[in-house]
Amino acid sequence: MRRKGIRMTDAYVENFLNEREALNRAVLERADRVVKRLFSLDSMAYTDGALPARTKELLGLAASLVLRCDDCVAYHLGRCREMGVSTEEMMETMGIGMLVGGSITIPHVRRAVRYWRGLCGDACGSEEGEG
């Protein structure tokens, strides 16, 4: 499986994405109107508007870190990678999330950095190739 800007050779990333897709399908197969609308609203919220979609994904990343939702952090990291967010931009966003969320977010940042490395491989260390 290949996603734009994501290196699918990393098993951690691939497992997360495959499980997320399968579980989303399972939920939506059984979903009522409210659940379907919430899923739709969530998708629509991250499209271009007064703020570009890229900025909204960074905001989602910071909010997810503050809420300590590793699944949400991973999702937003993937979207940020697809949108060409650099490692420096990602880390600055994580810094804001840590500032707001406090030291309890540190383990989540560790897992986020591991996930980011799985998304971009060797390109994580430099801006070159971070599209």
3-class SS string, 87-111:
HHHHHHHHHHHHHHHCHHHHHHHHH
Quick: pLDDT tens for 24-82: 999 999 999 999 999 999 889 999 999 999 999 999 999 999 999 999 999 999 999 99
Amino acid at 26: A
pLDDT at 124: 72
Report the pLDDT averaged over residues 106-125.
Answer: 88
Please say if the pLDDT value at position 3 is more than 80.
no
Cα distances (Å, whole numbers) of residue 11 to 44, 46, 49, 89: 29, 27, 34, 25
Report the pLDDT averaged over residues 84-105.
Answer: 97
pLDDT at 12: 85
Q: 83-88: which pairs have CB atoms within 8 A and are 24 or more residues apart?
A: 83/5, 83/53, 83/54, 83/57, 84/5, 84/54, 84/130, 84/131, 85/54, 85/57, 85/58, 86/127, 86/130, 87/116, 87/120, 87/124, 87/125, 87/127, 87/130, 88/127
What does the block give as tokens for 44? Answer: 């629509």
Where do we find the tokens 């990602």? 90
pTM of the model: 0.83
Terminal Cα-to-Cα distance of the chain (whole angstroms):
20
Is the CATH code 1.20.1290.10 the one for domain 59-121? yes
From CA 40, how far away is CA 71, in angstroms rounded?
18
